[in-house]
Amino acid sequence: QVQLVESGGGLVQAGDSLRLSCAASGRDFSRYTMAWFRQAPGKEREFVSTINWSDRSTLYADSVKGRFTISRDNAKNTVFLQMNSLKPEDTAVYYCAATDYYDRTRKEDYNYWGQGTQVTVSS
Tens digits of residue pLDDT in 73-85:
888 889 999 999 9
> Using CA of residue 106, residue 107, residue 113, residue 115, what is the dihedral sign?
positive
CB 9 within 8 A of CB 115: no
How large is the average pLDDT for residues 36-53?
95
Give the pLDDT confidence score for residue 15 in this predicted structure. Answer: 98
How far does Cα 84 stand from its chain's mean position? 14
Give the pLDDT confidence score for residue 2 in this predicted structure. Answer: 85
Predicted confidence (pLDDT) at residue 31 exceeds the cutoff of 90: no
- Spell out the residues 6+ positions from residue 102 whose beta carbon is closer than 8 angstroms to its own: 33, 52, 57
Give the pLDDT confidence score for residue 92 in this predicted structure. Answer: 98
- Decide which of 100 and 69 is more confident: 69
CB atoms within 10 A of CB 71: 15
Give the pLDDT confidence score for residue 1 in this predicted structure. Answer: 67
Give the pLDDT confidence score for residue 11 in this predicted structure. Answer: 98
Q: Where would I find the H helices in 48-91?
A: none
